[in-house]
A and B are shown apart, each in its own frame.
Chain A
């Protein structure tokens, strides 16, 4: 290196230093923004949060679980279709902040096929009941969030086989959702 080129590097040291910092910063910044747009901001359920030994999950201002599930054999009084069975799932929800979380309709998913069901309370001929909510209970103004249990009757065809996933997707959870494994 001649003394004149060394002089050029030295006289442009500040600019070169800035380029060395700003160029990677630009790449990282745009990359992060795009990633954030594609994943957490997309609202798509991407990252499952599964319960540990306690059977509960803390997410989005609530403790979710434990969960219970059973196949209901006595369906007297219910409008049940032929060639189908009723799987009843209960998910405890214990809000940990002032307002309880909202959520999308909880899903039952057959692990082997990926088929998805939503609870079918209306179709079973049952009316809405405050004691047996199908969706997350909103906390009204002036009310305090209290624990409750989601009561989810799923009508699935006879040939549907456990184990299943029970998925609850809280609102604004940045692509995270609660997932329990059940085998009624």
Chain B
């Protein structure tokens, strides 16, 4: 029986391995940190491109100027003329004094006439919103016919001296404009001559 020789000392091998293992561990730590940082940056980036929470309720705005046609999902509007006056009348029985902005336009539905009335006719001016007057014979709430424009006028009564700066007209075919198209028309009020009296166009087919 012989005594087996002792195993060869592993010291040499281990001493060679130790630095390698340590550097690999360092590399792994660095990798984890780099990955974490990358994920944080990616999350930040995602937060940047994300839409606000109520974005799905926003309207789709088709903006235009006076004389140009703008088309939203189910509404096509051309503002043909904007007038300002110290009095307004509908050519019939209705007459009113005040500071009035009168907007003449052609409007039609694009896709569906069912339930399509010009229900939203607003004016945004100086942080305030004015609705078109319901008095007199105006084209507010006018029937919109698919592809065949009708012409009419709406009138806004404004506070004295409010006819300056830039205003935005807003048109929509239904009261609910959530995630739907609206037409916005920019109007320069400074260039409008103030007339003594403005008469509304009667509602008719657009020419």
Contact = CB atoms under 8 A, between A and B. Distances in A.
Asked if A and B are interacting partners, one says yes
B114 A157 contact: no
Contact of A120 (B112, B145, B149, B207): B145
A81 B147 contact: no
B192 to A, nearest CB: 29
A116 B145 contact: no
Interface SS, A side: loop
Contacts of B145: 117, 120, 123, 155
A117 B205 contact: no
Contacts of B207: 82
Nearest to B150: A123
A157 to B, nearest CB: 4
A160 interface: yes
B148 interface: yes
Given A81-B205, A82-B207, A123-B205, A116 B147 contact: no
B27 interface: no
Contact of A81 (B143, B146, B148): B148
Contacts of A155: 145, 148
A107 B205 CA distance: 21
A116 B146 contact: yes
A123 B149 CA distance: 11
Nearest to B110: A115
Nearest to A83: B148
B158 to A, nearest CB: 31
A81 B114 contact: no
Interface string A104-145: 110100000011111010110000000000000000000000
A81 B111 contact: no
Given A123-B143, A155-B148, A157-B147, A81 B206 contact: yes
Contacts of A104: 114
A28 to B, nearest CB: 34
A122 B149 CA distance: 15
Interface of B: 111-114, 143, 145-150, 204-207
Interface of A: 79-84, 104-105, 107, 114-118, 120, 122-123, 155-157, 159-160
Given A123-B143, A156-B147, 7 more contacts: A83-B148, A115-B146, A116-B112, A118-B113, A122-B143, A157-B147, A160-B147
